[in-house]
Amino acid sequence: MLDKLKRWNNKKENVISPTKEDVMSKPIPKHIAIIMDGNGRWANKRALPRIAGHHEGMKVVRRITRTANELGVEVLTLYAFSTENWKRPKQEVEYLMKLPEEFLGTFLPELITQNVRVQMMGNPEEIPSHTRRAVEKAMVDTKDNTGLILNFALNYGSRDEITKAIKEIAADVKSGHLPEDEINDQLISQYLMTSKINDPDLLIRTSGEYRLSNFMLWQLAYTEFWFTDVLWPDFTENELLEAIHEFQARHRRYGGV
């Protein structure tokens, strides 16, 4: 059968990739989260500066957002900049902080036309004002859109998120606004940055790495993972379709039989 040729690891040789029609004939994951990894290695392989890889990766964000929207994905969360990424060289960090301006400056009109709503999760206080303004403008300009939610994880770290949630819960218990016996996993989720969106159904990580890198540790408890050796700048719509097709072939038991 042809389905046996469509392997989870997305290797191209002897693989027949699914089409949009193939994946749209079955339930589409409502929330897809992507750890976009490999920009620097992509550039190094070509003897280019690392920022060239980040710029190329930005083009991929545009294409994958369009495809996800066309497929009917409800939420696309992209790990754009982690709380640990501040450790990178200053020049690289400064360039990464300019990318949202460049990306949204050129892509925002299309996002508005395509009914996409921009959101952000992360700590905005440490982000440069020019970056923050670009994201805030996109969020305001798309707030009434009802289609795909394009959720940027920017200056985001899951441990930081969970720590802040615990502190807020503790403060509410101490003040008497929250009875201690009401604390459960559903309530904790309400204190997280993703309180208004569903947990991811599918996590994609590129570049051959097999770790979560402090990304949505609470929310990914029952998420299906899909890894590929493809570097993010080389990630195409076909890889996205492969990941969704593999997701559709899995049986999610949530701890049951």
Biggest alpha carbon distance in the chain?
A: 62
Band of the pLDDT at 257, cuts 50, 70, 90?
A: low
Average pLDDT over residues 106-130: 96
| Helix runs in the chain, H state only | 20-24, 39-45, 50-71, 90-113, 129-141, 158-175, 185-190, 237-249
Average pLDDT over residues 186-211: 97
pLDDT of residue 16: 78
Which superfamily does CATH assign the domain made up of 19-157+201-249 to? Decaprenyl diphosphate synthase-like (3.40.1180.10)
Mean pLDDT (the chain, rounded)? 93
pLDDT of residue 256: 73
Residue range 60-78, pLDDT digits in tens:
999 999 999 999 999 999 9
Backbone φ and ψ for 121, nearest 5 degrees, come out as -130, 140
Average pLDDT over residues 33-43: 97
- Given the residues 22, 85, 141, 214, select the one marked as catalytic: 85
Catalytic residue flag (residue 181): no
Q: Where is pLDDT greater, at 157 or 16?
A: 157
pLDDT of residue 13: 53
| Helix runs in 142-256, H state only | 158-175, 185-190, 237-249
Burial of 113 (0-12, 13-18, 19+ CB in 10 A): exposed
pLDDT of residue 254: 77
Q: What is the spatial distance between Cα 156 and Cα 228, in angstroms, rounded to a whole number?
A: 23
In the predicted structure, residue 3 carries a pLDDT above the cut 50:
no
Residues 6+ away with beta carbon under 8 Å from 57: 36, 39, 42, 232, 233
Q: How far is CA 157 from the centre of its chain?
A: 13
Q: What is the bridge-based pairing of β-strands 31-35 and 149-156? A: unpaired
Catalytic residue flag (residue 85): yes
State the pTM of this model.
0.92
Q: What is the spatial distance between Cα 58 and Cα 209, in angstroms, rounded to a whole number?
A: 20
Q: What percent of the chain is modeled with pLDDT above 90?
A: 91
Q: What is the DSSP letter of 226?
A: E
Q: Under the phi-then-psi rule, with left for phi > 0, alpha for psi from -120 to 50, and beta for the rest, what region is 200?
A: beta
- Given the residues 3, 14, 37, 234, select the one marked as catalytic: 37
Average pLDDT over residues 169-174: 98
Domain extents in the chain: 19-157+201-249
SS3 204: strand
Provide the terminal-to-terminal Cα distance of the chain, rounded to the nearest Å.
27
